[in-house]
Amino acid sequence: MCGRFILIQDAISLKDRFRAELPGETSLHPSYNISPGQRTAVITGERPNEFQMFQFGLTPDSAFKPVMLIEARSEGEKNPTDDPGYTGEMGIFTLPAFRKPIHSQRCLVMADAYIEGTTVERLNKPFLIYLRNKIRPFAMAGIWDVWSNPDSGELFHSFAIVTTYPNQLVARLPYHRMPVILHREDEAGWLSKDASPRELSLLMKPYPAELMNGFPIAPTIRNPLANDPGLIHPVGPRIFTEN
């Protein structure tokens, strides 16, 4: 699921879109291949007016050593078949690694698009998925945590992207998960410290397929060190026809 994404907006554009500041000592560079283990910009509920640079790949504060959990399933273990018709409760609220962050440590993960492979071929057959009508950047729902190195005391801030079952677009790849993409009007609600589990559950749904599209790109994106505009050039037609 969404193991790669891109963010190429400059700091001024991000500031205008999210009404947040980038600390003076922090630099933000365009990236066409944000991969697990790399740092990127997020906005947390604790500091909603500031961009922070966290590592992609969550290490829970209870972990004995660093790990990289890139996906936090909204249904937890309650929808093992990734059924698009699932209407049950969201198991993320009780999963040990995620129950504290989902209740009190949520964040926005900025992206211009994300990369998804197919269920079988994975990133050997990648697609770039974007929002129509030039809606970029957008925010994916995230959770974050802080892990303290028991030897050095150094603190590591990291995040995972919350995922849900696929919409019709993602199912056509085919792939069985997709990130929770927030509508702009729901971003403040995701960050709100007063949001209830019920309110959060209503946000953890697939983004409408008719507002999205995608196209195949070259499998060069598999290399986490690759980072240039050529990575996202289409190598085939869009999934849905656009006027």
User: What is the C-alpha separation between 192 and 142, in angstroms, rounded?
Assistant: 13
pLDDT digits (tens, 9 = 90+) for 43-76: 999 999 999 999 999 999 999 899 999 999 999 9
Indicate the domain borders of the chain.
4-232
- The pLDDT value recorded for residue 1 is 65
Q: Tokens at residue 28, please?
A: 């933000």
Instruction: Report, at the CATH architecture level, how domain 4-232 is classified.
Output: Alpha-Beta Complex (3.90)
pLDDT digits (tens, 9 = 90+) for 79-132: 999 999 999 999 999 999 999 999 999 999 999 999 999 999 999 999 999 999
* Nearest residue to 162 (alpha-carbon basis) of 203, 211, 212, 221: 203
3-state secondary structure of 99: helix
Residue with tokens 């983004």: 207
Dihedral (CA of 238, 140, 118, 175) sign: negative
Confidence of residue 153 (pLDDT cuts 50, 70, 90): confident
The predicted model scores a pTM of 0.96
pLDDT digits (tens, 9 = 90+) for 164-219: 999 999 999 999 999 999 999 999 999 999 999 999 999 999 999 999 999 999 99
